[in-house]
């Protein structure tokens, strides 16, 4: 009888473990994954995997929104070589990300402004062949919804309005064509 109880106890432990694995697997499968989002006919969020660890280039404030521009190593090297003001094209493979937040006062130092709610993440990638019709750059905006913890492609109803392709930022960036379509300066370090 003691052996039977041990067997039943082991079986119930295995059943509980199996149930836990199924519950965890189901929650992982249905959890939002920003790397599965793509602009129709354009860039995928997955093309910028790891952007969170890229080097900071610049801060910005546009009206009531604050932003942080990050760049991958190829873009950082272009900046260090004097881009975008040196007249040389940015190399293919260079990427930039810009996160926008609503500003808020720091809880620990109220005189300081810090990021509040995330609004969206913008991306640019230089690929002269793939994006020949938009100055060699592909663009994407992914709006963030805090309630669902999900990103979705920007739309023409957004701010700024975004088309549903990789050229969504091109019209705005044409005013800096002589700088290879790059607004952001690399501040003195």
- Three-class secondary structure of residue 71 per DSSP: strand
Q: Is 49 part of a structural domain of the chain?
A: yes
In whole angstroms, what is the distance from residue 160 CA to residue 113 CA? 23
Each residue's pLDDT tens digit, 149-160: 999 998 777 666
Q: Is 28 part of a structural domain of the chain?
A: no
pLDDT recorded at residue 28: 30
Q: Is 21 part of a structural domain of the chain?
A: no
E strand map for the chain: 55-62, 65-71, 95-105, 113-126, 137-145, 150-153
Between 187 and 15, whose confidence is greater? 187
In whole angstroms, what is the distance from residue 29 CA to residue 21 CA? 12
Domain that holds residue 136: 34-179
Q: Is 29 part of a structural domain of the chain?
A: no
Between 167 and 132, whose confidence is greater? 132
**Angle at Cα 165 formed by Cα 159 and Cα 168, nearest 5°?**
40
Which range is least confidently modeled, 40-44, 94-98, 114-118, 156-160?
156-160
Q: Is 23 part of a structural domain of the chain?
A: no
Order of strands, edge to edge, in the sheet holding 95-105?
A: 55-62, 65-71, 95-105, 113-126, 137-145, 150-153
Residue 182: pLDDT band (50, 70, 90) is confident
Q: Give how many domains the chain has, as a whole number.
A: 1
Task: Output the domain CATH number for residue 131.
Answer: 3.50.70
In whole angstroms, what is the distance from residue 97 CA to residue 133 CA? 21
Whole-model pTM: value is 0.78
Each residue's pLDDT tens digit, 58-85: 999 988 999 999 999 999 999 999 999 8
């Amino acid at each position: 009888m003691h052996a039977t109880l041990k067997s039943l106890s082991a079986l119930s432990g295995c059943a509980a473990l199996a149930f836990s694995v199924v519950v965890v697997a189901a929650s992982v499968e249905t959890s939002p994954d920003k790397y599965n989002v793509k602009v129709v006919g354009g860039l995928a969020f997955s093309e910028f995997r790891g952007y969170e660890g890229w080097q900071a280039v610049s801060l910005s404030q546009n009206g009531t929104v604050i932003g942080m521009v990050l760049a991958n190593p190829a873009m950082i090297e272009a900046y260090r070589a004097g881009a975008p003001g040196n007249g040389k094209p940015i190399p293919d493979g260079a990427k930039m990300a810009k996160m926008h937040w609503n500003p808020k006062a720091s809880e620990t130092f109220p005189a300081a402004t810090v990021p509040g709610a995330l609004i969206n993440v913008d991306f640019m990638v230089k690929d002269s062949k793939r994006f020949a019709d938009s100055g060699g750059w592909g663009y994407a905006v992914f709006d963030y919804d805090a309630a669902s913890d999900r990103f979705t492609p920007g739309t023409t109803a957004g701010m700024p309005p975004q088309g549903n392709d990789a050229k969504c930022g091109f019209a705005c960036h044409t005013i800096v064509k002589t700088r290879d379509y790059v607004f952001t300066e690399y501040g003195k370090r």
